[in-house]
Chains A and B, each alone.
Chain A
Amino acid sequence: DQQVKQNSPSLSVQEGRISILNCDYTNSMFDYFLWYKKYPAEGPTFLISISSIKDKNEDGRFTVFLNKSAKHLSLHIVPSQPGDSAVYFCAASERSSNTGKLIFGQGTTLQVKP
């Protein structure tokens, strides 16, 4: 049972344009969502997060949007840079259940072309 889904395995955008990565979840108990970035041969690194009490969180070029009714979140990167090329994972947790367990999606490989 895939509770967190990233249906697009890959995305290619031109440098300077917007990258939009999508994520869907099925568990309505999830109340905290995160995005991680992973370069080859490295561990994932935290990028940005959002609580279910918000619908938007912005940090520099990165913005995460949450649509609770649709159980959907997205990560916007603008403007995209070649250094953003990596695998992006969304993750979700039931923080209210007092667990730190994070459930990850399958990842989306972003390629930003110069």
Chain B
Amino acid sequence: GAGVSQSPSNKVTEKGKDVELRCDPISGHTALYWYRQSLGQGLEFLIYFQGNSAPDKSGLPSDRFSAERTGGSVSTLTIQRTQQEDSAVYLCASSLWGLAGIGGELFFGEGSRLTVL
């Protein structure tokens, strides 16, 4: 498809397990973002990749969270030793250039809903 694709759409895991969430951005988009939305909350910035630059990890809530972007395309968000407070919808977005307003509009995927029991 032409849009941002995320998998899995739903993931239920037990506390303490590791999870991986995958994002396929729109082809040709140089910037990729991860956000999460906890129940009743807004969109919380997690991490931002722009081309070959070092990612902006300033939003990662703890060292249990990490993300990679291989080959400038697909990204994987990994959460180690999951906790119940990690339960949220994890949204991935991509943009053409990564600068808001200069082809920088973000296109979001439908999200991966993570439930930690």
We find that the number of chain B residues with CB closer than 8 angstroms to chain A is: 30
Between A and B, how many residue pairs show CB distances below 8 Å?
75
**Complex: A42 Cα to B48 Cα, angstroms:** 21
Determine if B106 and A46 form an interchain contact, defined as CB atoms under 8 angstroms apart: yes
Q: Which of chain B's residues 37-63 have a Cβ closer than 8 Å to chain A?
A: 41-45, 48, 50, 56, 58
Chain A residue at minimal CB-CB distance from B108: A43
Contacts A43-B4, A100-B95, A100-B98; is A107 near B110 (CB within 8 Å)? no
A99–B108 CA distance with the chains assembled, in angstroms:
18
Binding site for A on B (CB under 8 A): 4, 31, 33, 35, 41-45, 48, 50, 56, 58, 91, 93, 95, 97-102, 104-111
- List 12 interface pairs A-B (beta carbons < 8 Å), by A numbering: A43-B110, A44-B91, A49-B101, A95-B99, A95-B101, A98-B99, A99-B99, A101-B56, A102-B33, A104-B43, A106-B41, A107-B42
